[in-house]
Amino acid sequence: MTEISNNALYAFYYIDETTEMEEFEFLRFPAQLKRIGSYAFIGASFPNGVVLPNTVEMISGLAFTMARTGVSKLVIPESVKTVGDGAFSNFLVAEFAQFPASLTKKQFAIDTDNPNFTFQVTGETTQKRYGDIFYETFTHEGTKEVRITGYDTFTTTQTLTIPETIDGMTVTELAPNAFGIQQVNFRKPNVQEVILPATIRKVGDSALRFKKVDVSTLQQVEEIGAYAFASGAVYSSSETFVLPATLHTIGDFAFSYMNVSKVHIDNKKRTMGIGIFSNSNITDVSFEEGITHIPAQMFLENKLQQVTLPTSLREIGAHAFQKNAITSIEIPPNVTTIGKRAFLSNKLTSLELPESVQEIGESAFSSNALTTVSMPKKLKTLGNNAFHYNQLRHIYVPQVENLGAKIYNNNPIEHVTFAEGVTNIGEGMFEESNITEITLPDTVTHIGARAFRSNKISTVVLPSSLQQVGEYAFSNNILTTIHIPKGVTFGSHAFANNELRDVTLEEGLKMIAPSMFIDNEISAVVLPSSLQQVGNAAFKNNELTTIHIPKGTVFGFGVFENNKLREVTLEEGVTTIPHTMFSSNQIERVTLPQTITNIEEGAFVSNALTEVTIPPLVKTIGLAAFSSNQLRKVHMFDNVTTIEEHAFSHNPLEQFTWSKKLETIGPEAFYRTKLKKIELPASLKSIGYRAFFESELEEVHIAAVDEIKRFAFQQNNIHTLTLPKQVTTIHDGAFINNALTKVTIPFKTKPNDISYIFGDNPIKEVVLPAQHSTYNLDYVSNSRLEKITLENVNTKLTYKKDFVHRDGLVFAGLYVDAARTKRYTGPEQKAKTIYVSWGRFSDITGHWAQGAIESFTSLGYINGYPDGTFKPGAPIQRKHVARILHDVFKFEAVNDVADFTDVPKSHAYYAAISAVQKAGIFSGDNGKFQPEAHLTRGQLAKVLVLAAGFEPGGKSTFKDTPASYWGTPYVAALADLAIVKGTDGFFNPNKPITRAQFVSMTSLALEEMKRRAQQNN
């Protein structure tokens, strides 16, 4: 093996987020290994060390990064020539390391916590040691000099002093990162301060970053690298820090974060990077005359309050004074450019810009406290947000070639003056300000998006020069009138959310943008004949009462939605009523032109239409097109093929003329109408889900249809129904909850679907088609069924031995005579009409509680069993008693109590049990209800007394209910009322109450309550 590829062992050993990384006891690499890929051992553990064979030539970036535990030793052979960035980052070695001298700090750097750690550098090295300092020699202009390259992080000293000479050679340079990250780093270094000699000529990048240094000692320095002194501990022993005269090059952020309060900048020509003094504590800066340029970010985030700029200055760089506390500034007369964010987030209150200024960058003066600004007349570029978030009340807008967006937004502007010749008002220029009036110059051609959005402008005149108005340009103001000139292109929402009442659209206008006048108070508008297009929601949410729709204009959706339209006229030639065009108005009558071909979704939803005629070219009535009106009469021609979902729902429809070509009636198309009788055409193919749900239908005649979907005719009063024999599919619930007494089953309908299709109807007669040889009566049975008509006398009828209707009746057999004296035995009798007989429960005849049981079950309070019995002697569970008593007494909550711990909200009887608990009828035992336990006679006595409101206590006594028994007052009360009697002087309070006893006692309690109510009345 010569290579371990990227992620090789990382991928192999890493299983998922909860699996620990494999530990390598002592990793043995193959002898021929040459390359180790990126992330090969990321996050691995090497408790006994890593020793690479001397064949390895390349270690890719991050190969061993983030070792999970420290390694005892690390050996890298001299054969390694290439090491990628961060190969050993965050790599902790405990005892010993060996590595070749050819590796740089960038290639190789490790950490240790061991103050006794040892390491060995192999191969030839140019680095030497002087005390705790590492250095190398080099030749400069023929003279040997010293460059400091690093230091021993294990030193115990806190202050390192760099000598002026080492071995007779002058120390003139600090290498990049000299006192930063070393190749071997003790994690608790002691060195805090470095004292530099005056001989230093060059300081490399990050050489003294994060170290304490007195920069005033650098009197001969010529070149300072990026971040060289970036440290909060850098200071100057002199009151004012002055850049040395010898200095010609300063790198980016060279003195950032320094702890110096005063700085003087001379006029020497230098190459200076960005952010030289950024993020420091400078409170005072002075500039020498002759300076022409202040670099970008030079004093970013300092503590400057006053700044005097030299008159020679021509350019102020981006972010130069951002985030200070400057209260005033005088821009010198020769400045031409002020960079972006140059004075962002200061405390400027006034500003006078000289005529020399040609460019103001993005956000240059934003987030100050400016109340006045004097603008130059020859300005060429004004950047985005240049003055936003200030306190400007009076604005002068110059004529500018390059105009940015949101220049003055978020100011309390009261007055705006435009320079002569201004043609462009930029995007968001005055957004969210306080402008109350505006006079647009007659030279303006373009108004940018949101230019005047969210102000208090009450009037505006659009000049004839205007060509384009951007989206939201005047939205969220208080405009009351507007004249819209022809030839102008408007963006969406241009005048949205104002108080417009009067809008004049000039003849010649071709387009109204989407939502252009949405959310206003427009009561009348005339659409010009030149109009070609009106965008979506253009006049939505207004006060329009009438509108005339010209032909040839294309309308978007919701154009007049939510107005107060009562009258609408549409010219002949109009072809389409778009999506929600007139929705949520008060239209009472409309005449649709003969040219209309499309009535789209929600076109007239939520109006007051009482009658409508669908034009002859219309084929489809769109979704909810006429929903929620007052339609009583609808006439349609024979071209309509589709009525979509909710098209006529929620209307008091009484008359409807059906198209002879109608094929589809969509879901809930006639939901909650008042149609009494419908005769659907032979062209029909599909009737949708709940198409006629709750529509008061009494007669339904369907000439032909392929499919009737679920609940299509649910909850009507249909007593007469004609179904085509060819209907292929009738889905569940299609005709449930109606008044059908006779049903003829279509021959293609499966017999086992019948009960689902016609459930909850008082069906007395079922006509069974000849196409099926066998029918199972289980699917058509109910207690009202009296007669079965067979179209084929050879049809075989099957049924379970016993089945019970919910009213408590028991199937008692089939007969061939109406008097039910002659049993039906099968097809051999050739009977065409068969009669059904029903009886009561099979086990209560002659029972002492028969009357109470039949009465109670007829009210639906309790049911029998599937085998046709009532089981009067069986016990009854507490949960069933709770449900029945709640149905009977309709308890109201009087107590706020915690739920029973054994009855969660998911319990099938939770609602009933909770109701009787909160009514104080049941209290349970130790917080539990025990829903499956049987109720005792004594418990029922208490429950009935509390439920009926009887007074506990009485004269009656039983041998087994002494005064000490908790239930005696309740038993005595019921005994006095003859609701309970007992046997041989015993009440048996702890015995389970039987179903018959429960029904009897509850019935007698109800009779007593009724007697008392009549007596009180």
- 386-437 confidence digits (pLDDT tens): 999 999 999 988 888 888 889 998 999 988 999 888 999 999 999 998 899 9
252 and 151 in a single domain? The answer is yes
- pLDDT of amino acid 21: 41
Which of 16-30, 57-71, 235-249, 892-906 has the highest average model confidence (pLDDT)? 235-249
Number of Cβ within a 10 Å radius of residue 629:
25
Distance of alpha carbon 39 from alpha carbon 5, whole angstroms: 9
| pLDDT: which is higher, 664 or 924 | 664
**Residue 682 belongs to a domain:** no
- pLDDT of amino acid 23: 47
**Residue 679 belongs to a domain:** no
User: Of the candidates 839, 874, 900, which is a domain's last residue?
Assistant: 839
Question: Is the confidence at residue 17, as pLDDT, over 70?
Answer: no
862 and 1009 in a single domain? The answer is yes
Asked if 309 contacts 288 with a C-beta cutoff of 8 angstroms, the reply is: no
250 and 186 in a single domain? The answer is yes
164 and 243 in a single domain? The answer is yes
Question: Is the confidence at residue 20, as pLDDT, over 50?
Answer: no
Question: Is the confidence at residue 628, as pLDDT, over 90?
Answer: yes
Question: Is the confidence at residue 99, as pLDDT, over 70?
Answer: yes
Q: How confident is the model at residue 779 (pLDDT cuts 50, 70, 90)?
A: low
272 and 288 in a single domain? The answer is no
pLDDT digits (tens, 9 = 90+) for 221-237: 999 999 999 988 899 89
**Residue 98 belongs to a domain:** yes
Average pLDDT for residues 696-707, to the nearest whole number?
96
Asked if 707 contacts 726 with a C-beta cutoff of 8 angstroms, the reply is: no
1007 and 891 in a single domain? The answer is yes
Place of tokens 């005649």: 701
208 and 267 in a single domain? The answer is yes
- pLDDT of amino acid 45: 76
Q: How confident is the model at residue 783 (pLDDT cuts 50, 70, 90)?
A: low
**Residue 58 belongs to a domain:** yes
pTM of the model: 0.66
Domain count, the chain: 5
Structure-block tokens of residue 292: 């022409």
Question: Is the confidence at residue 926, as pLDDT, over 50?
Answer: yes
User: Of the candidates 93, 110, 125, which is a domain's last residue?
Assistant: 125
Q: How confident is the model at residue 10 (pLDDT cuts 50, 70, 90)?
A: very low
Distance of alpha carbon 390 from alpha carbon 363, whole angstroms: 11
Average pLDDT for residues 72-97, to the nearest whole number?
88
* The residue count for the chain: 1017
Per residue in 671-703, is it b (16+ CB within 10 Å) or e — as a string? bbbebeebebbebbebbbbbbbbbbbbeebebe
pLDDT digits (tens, 9 = 90+) for 802-812: 555 545 566 76
Asked if 52 contacts 26 with a C-beta cutoff of 8 angstroms, the reply is: no
Give DSSP secondary structure letters for 234-248.
-B-SSSSEE--TT--
pLDDT digits (tens, 9 = 90+) for 436-479: 999 999 999 999 999 999 999 999 999 999 999 999 999 999 99
**Residue 141 belongs to a domain:** yes
Show Cβ contacts of residue 926 under 8 Å, excluding neighbours closer than 6 positions.
none
225 and 368 in a single domain? The answer is no
Distance of alpha carbon 633 from alpha carbon 662, whole angstroms: 18
Nearest one of 161, 146, 288 to 217, comparing CA atoms: 161
**Residue 675 belongs to a domain:** no
- Compute and round to an integer the Cα radius of gyration of the chain: 48
Question: Is the confidence at residue 4, as pLDDT, over 80?
Answer: no
Q: Where are the beta strands (DSSP E) in 80-215?
A: 82-83, 93-100, 110-112, 118-122, 128-130, 133-140, 143-151, 159-161, 165-166, 169-174, 184-186, 193-195, 202-203
Q: Using a pLDDT cut of 70, give the percent of the chain over it.
A: 94
User: Of the candidates 125, 153, 184, which is a domain's last residue?
Assistant: 125
1012 and 879 in a single domain? The answer is yes
Which domain does 897 fall in, by range?
A: 850-1016
Q: How confident is the model at residue 143 (pLDDT cuts 50, 70, 90)?
A: very high
CA 283 distance to own-chain centroid: 47
Query: How far is the CA of 205 from the CAs of 62, 177, 226, 252, 589, in angstroms?
Result: 23, 6, 5, 9, 83
| pLDDT: which is higher, 474 or 126 | 474
Average pLDDT for residues 694-704, to the nearest whole number?
96
- pLDDT of amino acid 775: 78
330 and 372 in a single domain? The answer is yes
Question: Is the confidence at residue 755, as pLDDT, over 80?
Answer: no
Question: Is the confidence at residue 8, as pLDDT, over 60?
Answer: no
| pLDDT: which is higher, 345 or 947 | 345
- pLDDT of amino acid 800: 65
Query: Residue 321 maps to which CATH number?
Result: 3.80.10.10
927 and 1010 in a single domain? The answer is yes
Question: Is the confidence at residue 282, as pLDDT, over 80?
Answer: yes
Show Cβ contacts of residue 149 under 8 Å, excluding neighbours closer than 6 positions.
127, 134, 135, 136, 175, 178
**Residue 550 belongs to a domain:** no
**Residue 476 belongs to a domain:** no
- pLDDT of amino acid 857: 79
Question: Is the confidence at residue 553, as pLDDT, over 90?
Answer: yes
Show Cβ contacts of residue 21 under 8 Å, excluding neighbours closer than 6 positions.
13, 14, 43, 44, 45, 68
Place of tokens 């879901």: 667
- pLDDT of amino acid 1: 60
Structure-block tokens of residue 433: 């300000």
pLDDT digits (tens, 9 = 90+) for 343-390: 999 999 999 999 999 999 999 999 999 999 999 988 999 999 999 999
- Secondary structure in 3-state letters for 134-147: EEEEEEECCEEEEE
26 and 45 in a single domain? The answer is yes
- pLDDT of amino acid 124: 84
Q: H helices then E strands: how many in the chain?
A: 8, 69
Report helix, strand or coil for 738.
coil
